[in-house]
Amino acid sequence: MRILDCHTHRPAPYPEGIVSVSPDDWDPLPGQLYSVGLHPWYLPDDLDAALKKLGRIARDRQVAAIGEAGLDALRGGPMYRQMQAFRAQAQLAQMACKPLIVHNVRCTAEIVLLRRQWGVTVPWIIHGFRGKPTLLRMLLDAGCHISCGPRLNKDVLPSVPLPRLLAETDDSPETISEVISAMAGALGMEPGKLADRIAETAAEIFYV
Ligand SMILES: [Zn+2]
């Protein structure tokens, strides 16, 4: 399988992408890869039940990653609940030996601290990254991968080492080829070459 799009909300079938769903929407199509998680904007009232359900789904072979999960300082429920859900999902990803797709809005310090404190070994993919160079440095130093989408920061992109770089469409209507072409432009690379490199990294991370 050649995965180019590590995070999307478009519907399956989508063979070149990892389709992100919540545990309640888990209804896998044969051959499709998914990430399953609790988004910080939409945390259910009964968090324990949802996490239990996620724990059961997490081991399925079609679940390539946990998430998206994360922390959002601008939107979503109270931070203590977001933190509770994020920590539980990070733990689940670590136990299932699967990567975590991370939603991060203004919570880089918390995310980096948690990853370091816990000695996390599975990849954490910071999705939709368009932050400043200092934040990028913090995330890279903590061992995170960086995924860029349609709203990318073209000035910061060249500072991401290629082995840590992924691409995504997230919730945008743009195709993954359009996203990768824009990234390749910012990197001064040929789009086909960048696509090959991204597919290679995805294959390593998601064991596809
Ligand atoms: Zn998303």
State pLDDT tens for residues 96-123: 999 999 999 999 999 999 999 999 999 9
Per-residue model confidence (pLDDT) at position 192: 98
Q: What is the pLDDT of residues 122-146, one digit of tens each?
A: 999 999 999 999 999 999 999 999 9
Q: How many angstroms separate the alpha carbon of residue 156 from the centre of ligand 1?
A: 21
Half-sphere exposure in the Cβ direction for 155 (13 Å, CA): 4
Q: What is the pLDDT of residues 3-13, one digit of tens each?
A: 999 999 999 99
Q: How many angstroms separate the alpha carbon of residue 169 from the centre of ligand 1?
A: 8
Q: How many angstroms separate the alpha carbon of residue 36 from the centre of ligand 1?
A: 11
Side chain identity at 60, as an amino acid letter? Answer: D
Q: How many angstroms separate the alpha carbon of residue 8 from the centre of ligand 1?
A: 6
Q: What is the pLDDT of residues 47-90, one digit of tens each?
A: 999 999 999 999 999 999 999 999 999 999 999 999 999 999 99
Task: Assess if CATH 3.20.20.140 describes domain 5-206.
Answer: yes
Q: What is the pLDDT of residues 13-33, one digit of tens each?
A: 999 999 999 999 999 999 999
Q: What is the pLDDT of residues 165-197, one digit of tens each?
A: 999 999 999 999 999 999 999 999 999 999 999
Residues 6+ apart with CB under 8 A from 204: none
Helices (H), the chain: 47-57, 79-96, 108-118, 133-141, 176-187, 191-206
Q: How many angstroms separate the alpha carbon of residue 149 from the centre of ligand 1?
A: 10
Q: How many angstroms separate the alpha carbon of residue 122 from the centre of ligand 1?
A: 20
Cα distances (Å, whole numbers) of residue 184 to 57, 132, 140, 179, 204: 36, 19, 20, 9, 21
Closest CA to 42 of 76, 12, 13: 76
> Cα separation of 13 and 15, whole Å?
6
Q: Is the pLDDT of residue 208 over 90?
A: no
Peptide bond into 13 cis (omega under 30): yes
